[in-house]
Structure 1
Amino acid sequence: MRVRTEAKREAIIEAAAEVFLEAGFEGASMSQIATRAGGSKRTLYGYFPSKEELFVAVAHSVAERFFQPVLMTLQETTEDLPTALQRFGEDTLGFLCNEQSVQMWQTIIGVAGRSDVGALFFETGPKKGMQHVADFLQRQMDLGRLRQSDPMMAARHLHALLESETLMPRLFGLLKAPSNAYLREATQRALQTFFAGYAPAAVQTAGDPACQ
């Protein structure tokens, strides 16, 4: 009986990440990955039943390495809300828009139409991350810093605003290697719109010229 170990699983993921990066999802084979990991295809399939599931594991490994600290910082922050979200936005976009991440997103989108890899990745990764953001926003609503609303919808709106000037044009090749200054300013514009929509009712009323 073969014993599965976490160390072996991580070694396979690391080897797969290298092969996927070099050959792309379509060009990579389980044989190549097994050879790079120093094992057999039988061992590889014992950990990951398909190339799709292995790719999702690679994507999650990359995301967790970079994004988990960002989420942890947001959850534990003692900064005021605008400062906390500015930091969160810049850190998030720095990860989403780097070359490795863009290649990963493009690959997932490319194969999502003909396999379940896209849905599998979203359900076990981004959806969970979005829930963490929603939980944070719910606490801000309870403290009266944001208007009461559906926190998950607010989290989706926040991410959409952050990505509209950055990740979306990056995926289509319209934005090349955005600078930190660009990401900072894009985050500022996104948050201006977000706070305009989710500011507490008293703040929105005070800012309405018709009420002055």
Structure 2
Amino acid sequence: MRTKSATRRQAILDSAAKVFQDTGYERASMSDICEQLGCSKATLYSYFPSKEQLFFEVVLSASEDEFQATHNALDPSIEDITEALETFGQRFLDFIYSPRVQAVRRLVMSEAGRGDLGRRCYDQGPLRSEAEVTQFLQTAMSAGKLRQADPKVAALQLRGLLEAEWIDRFIFHLFDKPSADEVSQTVKRSVATFMAAYGPTQQGA
């Protein structure tokens, strides 16, 4: 059960997320967030010492549970590496192209140049994801499920393949969310291309 303090903290994050999405980081103020929530500035600052810290926490709270669930799909016990990668790819695209995470990503992209905000968001998002996928691929390579290669490069290329069909449309706001069938077909094509490059039959190439 949440404590009263935890409940209040989540209410602040929810209100701040709405203000940031409605007005953008630069135009949003702590006063706006207080008004949205109906609390005093003293209360707000007792939980978050600055607008930047609050924004960073909004980003994390919007995606942390889904991030963990997505990367838990990287199960090294699954013998069929194609199946394992397709399961991960499906969850990964569902995650990053969900309306909520799209909104957060766009906020981060628009505000990342301010102070060390971009570095902090990168470290907690893409870099952390890269590390988990790299470890999974390294284990698969050691088990002979993939050919030996630089697992970090392979992780980056896998992500690139998964996003290749959607990233431009995301950047230019040309869709809300791919359909389930579109995601499934994208994942199959992406993993097939990845396995053509990194499958164990390529060992002697």
The TM-score bracket by the shorter chain reads 0.7 to 0.9
The structure in which a higher percent of residues are helix is: 1
Q: Which residue of 2 is the match for residue 55 of structure 1? A: 55
- Contact 1:97 1:167 (8 Å CA) reproduced: no
TM-score by length of 1: 0.83
What is the rounded CA distance, in whole Å, between the counterparts of 2:110 and 2:198 in structure 1? Answer: 34
Q: In the superposition, relative to structure 1, how do residues 43 and 79 fare at CA in structure 2: closer, same or farther (>3 Å)?
A: farther
Q: Where does the alignment leave 5 or more consecutive residues of structure 2 unmatched? A: none
Deviations 1:15-65 (A, max 9, x none): 212222333323322112234344322332333232222112111111112
> What are the equivalent positions in structure 2 for 1:84-163 lying under 5 Å apart?
84-163=84-163
Q: In the superposition, relative to structure 1, how do residues 138 and 205 fare at CA in structure 2: closer, same or farther (>3 Å)?
A: closer
What is the rounded CA distance, in whole Å, between the counterparts of 2:167 and 2:48 in structure 1? Answer: 30
What is the rounded CA distance, in whole Å, between the counterparts of 2:82 and 2:203 in structure 1? Answer: 19
- Contact 1:166 1:183 (8 Å CA) reproduced: no
Q: In the superposition, relative to structure 1, how do residues 76 and 42 fare at CA in structure 2: closer, same or farther (>3 Å)?
A: farther
What is the rounded CA distance, in whole Å, between the counterparts of 1:67 and 1:119 in structure 2? Answer: 18
Q: Which amino acid aligns with 1:30?
A: M
Q: Which amino acid aligns with 1:204?
A: Q
2:188 equivalent to 1:191: no
Deviations 1:137-190 (A, max 9, x none): 111111011122222222111111111112332221244532111111111121
What is the rounded CA distance, in whole Å, between the counterparts of 1:15 and 1:77 in structure 2? Answer: 41
CA RMSD of aligned residues (A): 2.4
Q: In the superposition, relative to structure 1, how do residues 191 and 182 fare at CA in structure 2: closer, same or farther (>3 Å)?
A: same
What is the rounded CA distance, in whole Å, between the counterparts of 1:177 and 1:29 in structure 2? Answer: 30
TM-score by length of 2: 0.85
Q: Which residue of 1 is the match for residue 64 of structure 2? A: 64
What is the rounded CA distance, in whole Å, between the counterparts of 2:77 and 2:16 in structure 1? Answer: 35
Q: Which residue of 1 is the match for residue 202 of structure 2? A: 204
Structure 1 segments, 4+ long, off by >6 Å, are none
Q: In the superposition, relative to structure 1, how do residues 43 and 152 fare at CA in structure 2: closer, same or farther (>3 Å)?
A: farther
